[in-house]
Amino acid sequence: MKRTHQLSSGQPLTTQTLRAHGVDVERILSELVSDPASCGVLLTGSLAAGNGTPSSDVDLMVLVPHRTSLISTKDGVRFKNSRFSEALQYCDGIEVNIELAERGRVAEIMTWMTAIAPALYKPSELKFIPIIDGPELRFLHRLRAGLPLLNPSLVASWRDEFLVELLPTYLTVRHFMEVHEYLEDAISHRAVSEESSRHVARIAVEEALVSILAALGVTSAARKWLLIESRKAMATAGEVDRSLLAEGLSIHADCATGPLGECLTRIEALHQRMARRMAAEPELARAVEFLQGSITYVLEHQG
């Protein structure tokens, strides 16, 4: 039976702390891989992010550097997809989710990030940026933001090789591009279905919020937590970013029932404000300049 715990009480989260509360990371690792000493382990999820609760699951990511045979878990259930294996265990009533990333299976993600790096700084190649989604994007975020528990030197090596510090820049630029694409779709849908146009307009605003958050270094904005993450970021953001987030949240709410034409115009204006904000940062300026050159704003030219 699942039970609560005190891991979110503000104490440092280490393997010793977890073990004291019933989660023995070393034992879990020894049941999953044949060579535990060669693996790195990170604490991820809400506990690592500092917003866990007494009922939060313990999320672990295991970095397996070689093609080590994975051992069948005794008490867990394992799921697999093309790149990752996941195991579910209960340790003294605490739910523990384990994601295993084997080096050979995730090597392609490293290739993608290597391709992204020059593209961001050579704007003429921006159209070739690989689109990273789903488990791969989650993996990069967890690798970047997770709390190392075992073998921190291996964790640091993976972070360097996967260029995870480039993730905020990648997300900022990518979702900035997608705001305009969804806005164009919302405008075209308006002639057919106002309901559809409103739906797509809300997606455009969500893309804007993801981009703004990424510019602030937040790469964990899953859609189900996007509005909460945006409000949370406003507490520490500077005046410009706080204003952008506030406007995005306001438009998102108004897209449901407010005047549709006004919402579309506000999204366009928000996108232009985002461009000015991004252009103030050297690592984003050239990319934004290139993108702006290929964007034709429509609504502002209408009477």
Residues 246-264 have pLDDT tens digits of 999 999 999 999 999 999 9
Instruction: Please tell me the predicted confidence (pLDDT) of residue 254.
Output: 95
Query: For the chain, what is the mean pLDDT?
Result: 88
Contact yes or no for 270/250 (Cβ under 8 A) = no
Q: Which sign, positive or negative, has the C-alpha torsion 193, 198, 202, 205? A: positive
**What is the b/e burial string over 141-171, where b = at least 16 CB atoms within 10 angstroms of the residue's CB?**
bbbbbbbbbbbeebbeebbeebbbebbbbbb
The more confidently predicted of residues 286 and 230 is 230
For tokens 């990424």, the residue is 214
pLDDT confidence of 301, banded at 50, 70, 90? Answer: very low
Instruction: Please tell me the predicted confidence (pLDDT) of residue 300.
Output: 53
Instruction: Please tell me the predicted confidence (pLDDT) of residue 217.
Output: 93
**What are residue 90's DSSP bridge partners?**
95
Tens digit of each residue's pLDDT (9 = 90 or more) over 81-124: 668 888 888 998 999 999 999 999 999 999 888 888 877 776 66
CA-based nearest residue to 7, from 69, 70, 64, 52: 52
Distances, alpha carbon 10 to alpha carbons 4, 6, 17, 50, in Å: 15, 9, 11, 8
Distance, CA of 115 to CA of 78 (rounded, Å): 32
Q: Which sign, positive or negative, has the C-alpha torsion 33, 36, 39, 40? A: positive
pTM, rounded to two decimals: 0.87
Distances, alpha carbon 291 to alpha carbons 43, 120, 185, 219, 277, in Å: 37, 11, 18, 22, 14
Distances, alpha carbon 143 to alpha carbons 12, 152, 173, 264, 267, in Å: 19, 12, 20, 37, 33
CA-based nearest residue to 120, from 161, 164, 170: 170
Distance, CA of 32 to CA of 67 (rounded, Å): 13
Least confident of 16-30, 123-137, 178-192, 267-281: 123-137
Helix (H, G, I), strand (E, B) or coil at 94: strand
Annotate 239-259 with DSSP letters as a single string.
HHHHHHHHHHHHHHHHHHHS-
**CA 162, chain centre distance (Å):** 15
Tens digit of each residue's pLDDT (9 = 90 or more) over 58-86: 999 999 988 767 776 555 546 566 688 88
**CA 57, chain centre distance (Å):** 19
Instruction: Please tell me the predicted confidence (pLDDT) of residue 127.
Output: 60
pLDDT at 219 over 90: yes
Report, as an integer, the average pLDDT of 128-150.
89
Instruction: Please tell me the predicted confidence (pLDDT) of residue 303.
Output: 38
List for the chain the helix, strand, coil content (%; round to 5). 60, 15, 25
Percentage above 90 pLDDT, the chain:
60
Least confident of 7-21, 63-77, 152-166, 175-189: 63-77
Q: Phi-psi bin for 221: left (phi > 0), alpha (psi -120 to 50), beta?
A: beta
pLDDT at 221 over 70: no
Q: What tokens appear for 190 in the block?
A: 């308006």
Distance, CA of 45 to CA of 146 (rounded, Å): 8
Count CB neighbours of 193 within 10 A: 11
